[in-house]
């Protein structure tokens, strides 16, 4: 590293502090100046002790009256200070003898803290404080006081002193920082240079409104936010460019197979299905690999869209692979698709992790020889030993369960003389628009925004487990009326074993209480064949009630099931609940979903379950989920790198995203040499991390 940027150039930084700073991801002076405050305090005005109020942060200044060590329940140091308006107690539970001795009677102290009602009136606990020698240094701080993210062993004061030194160097141009945003942009938008912005944000003058800073509306903040969002956008676009770089086979179907498939269906596609299918067909006809995300709410008919896309590729003599995240779902796709395609003369193949022995050898051979043309499976399709004959379209269902980068691994599997297969990604977890624009900037998106006709709405009720008996009776009643029901068991433990155990116990209990019902059980630890048999029996209405773990979350389709009970729904994400609930409401009778929570509920949990009750709109639910939990959790941290945003906040700054897209395009054209340094500056680490 540049010697000039070495942290030990600062006074007071030795090997130990340098190591501690590394925990804050600060490895150089340049990193240090990018370590920005997360909020500010106004300590520029000194308050009268007599005017202090409970729970109000304030700066006070006074003369030490006494400093005594008290031996109560807990040993503490109690210092009393006074100004002409009153006396205030300051209490320390952690203190040294040296510290006590600092508080000589008559010394002048300035403290910053939040006053709280205590044993002796208002008290300050462990305030930041400063002894003012000779009473001369009594100017209040001229700026807002920054509060930095920090780590154990580095106090705010320490960090501020280090920063003071670093900022001096920054101001003197001793820390080289290229301004990577073009000057004309900054002028056009009235934004400061990078150096100005950083200097300002570390030490904003006291006139600045705290509220403006808290909303991140100040130009200095906007300048950095734009730059960071731009860096993320560029990185996504670069990922896309590299994915598309090899080119792809141009697929121009005649629509013969397409028409034949439609002709044998008992329904016609919705307008939304048609529109999205056309978008895909247009992509396929281009010489670049398609990278398209199809979002469609649960039950919107994504499978048909995928099948129609497949028609064109199959007709052109290529293979199509469809990958699903669970074996149950893959199995179901395999059944549906072979029902559709085998009669049309398209041989289908099946490959899952549990396909073993002779069956596996045969499957692999059929795939490699091109005898299997439409291949359905799980992650197993990624494995090294799988070789395709000519794979031109990869369809990934329920993509949020695969990593964003994982899907690129199928790129090399096509055996297309250096060309890449087209990729179609389908998700039923609608990704809020704001997130889609940044997290999935490397994908084009299509939305199936319409459900097939004849669906009936689902009524959702939120019920405490104290009313479990009633709920059981309700299941009984529904099943006697020829409906079918799901009972979903969730468990907070990550352990699949425990989840399965819970489901087994519940199934036994329910069987005892409802002896006349035919009850089945599916969970993740059952053999694939057993699971498939139970699912088939449920589908054929040989079972009334299916007790399950969340394995049935995605894709399972049994239209006659019209009641779902979800235990401990408060433990699941809203998107997951929405997925689960989407298993009902697929037929023409009115459906019900009972969210059977464990009382008492926290405030947030209440709000979240309320969202489920009031809405059936996956997009709305996803937005709410995002608001209540934040993007990292909604999308899964590994997948995005978004949790690494340092100054931007996707929700707060959502309105900037269209502009950021525009900026990215312009930068590629006008200043391509700045792309790399920008990405490196803002997500050097994150990118490395994501590529693993």
Using CB under 6 A, list all residues that contact ligand ADP.
267, 269-270, 273, 296, 298-304, 428, 452, 555, 557
**Would you call 76 helix, strand, or coil by DSSP?**
strand
Nearer to Mg ion among residue 191 and residue 556 (C-beta): 556
Interface size with Mg ion, residues (CB under 5 A): 1
Q: Give backbone dihedrals phi and psi of 296, rounded to 5 degrees, phi first.
A: -155, 135
557 binds, options ligand ADP, Mg ion, none, Cβ within 5 to 8 A by partner type: ligand ADP
Least separation in angstroms between residue 396's CB and ligand ADP is 13
The sign of the dihedral angle between the CA atoms of 540, 546, 548, 552 is positive
CA distance 216 to 666: 25
The answer to the question of residue 555 lying near Mg ion (CB under 5 A) is: yes
Least separation in angstroms between residue 272's CB and ligand ADP is 9
329 binds, options ligand ADP, Mg ion, none, Cβ within 5 to 8 A by partner type: none
Least separation in angstroms between residue 354's CB and Mg ion is 21
Kindly provide the b/e burial profile for residues 380-389, where b requires at least 16 CB atoms within 10 angstroms of the residue's own CB. Answer: bbbeeebebb
613, two tokens: 């009750």
Least separation in angstroms between residue 336's CB and ligand ADP is 7
Q: Which residue is nearest to Mg ion (CB)?
A: 555
Identify which range of 189-197, 357-365, 370-378, 554-562 contacts Mg ion by CB under 5 A: 554-562
Least separation in angstroms between residue 556's CB and ligand ADP is 9
The sign of the dihedral angle between the CA atoms of 3, 5, 6, 8 is positive
349 binds, options ligand ADP, Mg ion, none, Cβ within 5 to 8 A by partner type: none
Least separation in angstroms between residue 234's CB and ligand ADP is 33
Nearer to Mg ion among residue 396 and residue 634 (C-beta): 396
Chain position carrying tokens 């059952």: 526
641 binds, options ligand ADP, Mg ion, none, Cβ within 5 to 8 A by partner type: none
Using only C-alpha atoms, the chain has a radius of gyration, in whole angstroms, of: 31
Which class for 87: exposed (0-12), middle (13-18), buried (19 or more C-beta within 10 A)? Answer: middle
x-marked contacts with Mg ion along 514-553 as a string, rule CB under 5 A: ----------------------------------------
332 binds, options ligand ADP, Mg ion, none, Cβ within 5 to 8 A by partner type: none
Q: How many CB atoms lie within 10 A of CB 573?
A: 17
Rounded (10°) angle between helices 603-614 and 618-629: 170
Nearer to ligand ADP among residue 428 and residue 596 (C-beta): 428
299 binds, options Mg ion, ligand ADP, none, Cβ within 5 to 8 A by partner type: ligand ADP
- Which runs of consecutive H residues, i.e. helices, occur in 69-155? 97-102
Is beta strand 145-147 parallel, antiparallel or unpaired with respect to 39-41?
A: antiparallel
Least separation in angstroms between residue 411's CB and ligand ADP is 25
Least separation in angstroms between residue 301's CB and ligand ADP is 3
Quick check: 24 and 35 in contact, CB under 8 A? yes
Least separation in angstroms between residue 555's CB and Mg ion is 4
Nearer to ligand ADP among residue 339 and residue 649 (C-beta): 339
Q: Give backbone dihedrals phi and psi of 527, rounded to 5 degrees, phi first.
A: -65, 150
Nearer to ligand ADP among residue 203 and residue 586 (C-beta): 586
270 binds, options ligand ADP, Mg ion, none, Cβ within 5 to 8 A by partner type: ligand ADP
End-to-end alpha-carbon separation of the chain, Å?
A: 24
Identify which range of 459-467, 534-542, 555-563, 642-650 contacts Mg ion by CB under 5 A: 555-563
Nearer to ligand ADP among residue 235 and residue 300 (C-beta): 300
298 binds, options ligand ADP, Mg ion, none, Cβ within 5 to 8 A by partner type: ligand ADP
Task: Spell out the residues 6+ positions from residue 45 whose beta carbon is closer than 8 angstroms to its own.
Answer: 59, 140
Nearer to Mg ion among residue 555 and residue 641 (C-beta): 555
Chain position carrying tokens 């929405």: 578
Q: Give backbone dihedrals phi and psi of 145, rounded to 5 degrees, phi first.
A: -95, 125
Residue 86's Cα: distance from chain center in Å? 51
452 binds, options Mg ion, ligand ADP, none, Cβ within 5 to 8 A by partner type: ligand ADP
Q: Which residue is nearest to ligand ADP (CB)?
A: 301
SS3 readout for 642-655? HHHCCCCCCCCCHH
User: Which among 559, 592, 293, 340 is positioned nearest to 435, based on CA atoms?
Assistant: 293
Nearer to ligand ADP among residue 148 and residue 340 (C-beta): 340
413, two tokens: 């599997």
91 binds, options Mg ion, ligand ADP, none, Cβ within 5 to 8 A by partner type: none
- List, in sequence order, every residue forming a beta bridge with 265; answer none if it has no partner: none
The answer to the question of residue 296 lying near Mg ion (CB under 5 A) is: no
CA distance 545 to 477: 12
Nearer to Mg ion among residue 148 and residue 350 (C-beta): 350
Kindly provide the b/e burial profile for residues 243-280, where b requires at least 16 CB atoms within 10 angstroms of the residue's own CB. Answer: bbebebbebebeeebbebbbeeeeeebbebbebbbebb
CA distance 567 to 465: 8
Least separation in angstroms between residue 397's CB and ligand ADP is 7
Nearer to ligand ADP among residue 277 and residue 373 (C-beta): 277
296 binds, options ligand ADP, Mg ion, none, Cβ within 5 to 8 A by partner type: ligand ADP
Nearer to ligand ADP among residue 347 and residue 587 (C-beta): 587
Q: Give backbone dihedrals phi and psi of 336, rounded to 5 degrees, phi first.
A: -60, -50
User: Which among 608, 585, 582, 584 is positioned nearest to 597, based on CA atoms?
Assistant: 608
Q: How many CB atoms lie within 10 A of CB 501?
A: 17
Least separation in angstroms between residue 511's CB and Mg ion is 30
CA distance 535 to 557: 10
Least separation in angstroms between residue 424's CB and Mg ion is 13
Least separation in angstroms between residue 204's CB and ligand ADP is 50
Distances (CA, A) of 276 to 238, 443, 447, 469: 25, 14, 7, 46
Nearer to Mg ion among residue 146 and residue 555 (C-beta): 555
Nearer to ligand ADP among residue 171 and residue 590 (C-beta): 590
Least separation in angstroms between residue 166's CB and ligand ADP is 53
Nearer to ligand ADP among residue 228 and residue 279 (C-beta): 279
Least separation in angstroms between residue 302's CB and ligand ADP is 4
Distances (CA, A) of 205 to 40, 172, 209, 492, 528: 11, 19, 9, 48, 66
Residue 661's Cα: distance from chain center in Å? 20
Nearer to ligand ADP among residue 364 and residue 447 (C-beta): 447
Nearer to ligand ADP among residue 295 and residue 506 (C-beta): 295
Quick check: 611 and 477 in contact, CB under 8 A? no
Least separation in angstroms between residue 303's CB and Mg ion is 5
Q: Which residues bind Mg ion (CB under 5 A)?
A: 555
């Amino acid at each position: 590293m540049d010697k000039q940027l070495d942290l030990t150039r600062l006074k007071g930084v030795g090997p130990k502090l340098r190591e501690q700073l590394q925990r804050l991801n600060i490895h150089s002076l340049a990193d240090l100046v990018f370590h920005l405050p997360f909020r500010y305090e106004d300590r520029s005005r000194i308050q009268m002790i007599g005017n202090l109020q409970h729970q109000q942060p304030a700066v006070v200044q006074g003369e030490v009256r006494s400093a005594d060590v008290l031996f109560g329940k807990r040993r503490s140091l109690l210092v009393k200070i006074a100004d002409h308006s009153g006396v205030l107690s300051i209490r320390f539970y952690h203190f040294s003898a040296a510290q006590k001795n600092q508080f000589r009677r008559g010394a002048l102290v300035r403290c910053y803290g939040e006053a709280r009602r205590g044993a002796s009136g208002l008290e300050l606990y462990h305030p930041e404080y400063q002894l003012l020698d000779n009473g001369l240094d009594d100017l209040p701080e001229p700026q807002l006081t920054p509060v930095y993210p920090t780590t154990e062993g580095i106090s705010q004061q320490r960090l501020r002193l280090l920063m003071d030194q670093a900022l001096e160097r920054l101001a003197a141009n001793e820390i080289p920082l290229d301004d990577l945003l073009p000057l004309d942009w900054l002028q056009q938008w009235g934004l400061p240079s990078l150096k100005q912005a950083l200097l300002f944000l570390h030490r904003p003058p006291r006139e600045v409104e705290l509220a403006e800073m808290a909303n991140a509306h100040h130009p200095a903040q906007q300048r950095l936010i734009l730059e960071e969002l731009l860096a993320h956008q560029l990185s996504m676009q670069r990922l896309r460019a590299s994915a598309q770089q090899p080119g792809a086979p141009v697929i121009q179907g005649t629509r013969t197979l397409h028409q034949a498939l439609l002709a044998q269906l008992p329904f016609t596609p919705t307008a939304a299905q048609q529109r999205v299918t056309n978008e895909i067909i247009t992509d396929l006809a281009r010489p670049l690999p398609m990278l398209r995300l199809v979002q469609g709410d649960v039950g919107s008919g994504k499978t048909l869209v995928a099948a129609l896309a497949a028609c064109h590729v199959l007709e052109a003599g290529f293979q199509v692979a469809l990958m699903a995240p669970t074996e149950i779902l893959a199995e179901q796709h395999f059944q549906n698709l072979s029902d559709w395609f085998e009669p049309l003369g398209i041989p289908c193949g099946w490959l899952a992790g549990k396909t073993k022995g002779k069956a596996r050898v045969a499957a692999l051979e059929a795939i490699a020889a091109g005898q299997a043309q439409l291949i359905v499976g799980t992650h197993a399709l990624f494995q090294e030993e799988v070789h395709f004959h000519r794979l031109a379209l990869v369809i990934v269902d329920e993509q949020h369960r695969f990593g964003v980068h994982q899907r690129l691994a199928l790129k090399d599997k096509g055996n297309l003389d250096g060309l890449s297969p087209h990729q179609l990604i389908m998700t039923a977890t609608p990704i809020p628009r704001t997130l889609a624009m940044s997290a999935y900037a490397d994908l084009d998106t299509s939305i199936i925004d319409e459900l097939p006709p004849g669906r009936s709405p689902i009524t959702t009720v939120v019920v405490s487990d104290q009313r479990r008996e009633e709920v059981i009776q309700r299941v009984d009643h529904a099943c006697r009326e020829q409906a079918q029901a799901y009972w979903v068991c969730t468990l907070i433990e990550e352990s699949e074993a425990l989840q399965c155990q819970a489901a087994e116990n519940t199934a036994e209990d329910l069987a005892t209480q409802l002896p006349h019902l035919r009850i089945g059980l599916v969970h993740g630890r059952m053999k694939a064949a057993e699971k498939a048999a139970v699912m088939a029996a449920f589908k054929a209405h040989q079972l009334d009630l299916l007790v399950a773990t969340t394995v049935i979350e995605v894709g399972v389709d049994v239209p006659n099931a019209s009641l779902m009970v979800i235990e401990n729904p408060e433990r699941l994400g809203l998107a997951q609940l929405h997925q689960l609930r989407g298993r009902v409401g697929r037929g023409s009778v009115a459906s019900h979903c009972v969210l059977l929570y464990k009382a008492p509920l926290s405030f947030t949990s209440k709000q979240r379950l309320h969202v489920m009750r009031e809405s059936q709109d996956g997009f709305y639910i996803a937005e709410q989920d995002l608001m209540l939990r934040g993007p990292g959790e909604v999308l899964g941290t590994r997948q995005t790198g978004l949790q690494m945003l340092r100054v931007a906040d996707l929700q707060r700054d959502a309105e900037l995203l269209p502009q950021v897209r525009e900026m990215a395009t312009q930068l590629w054209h006008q200043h391509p040499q700045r792309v790399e340094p920008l990405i490196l500056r803002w997500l050097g680490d994150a990118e490395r991390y994501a590529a693993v």
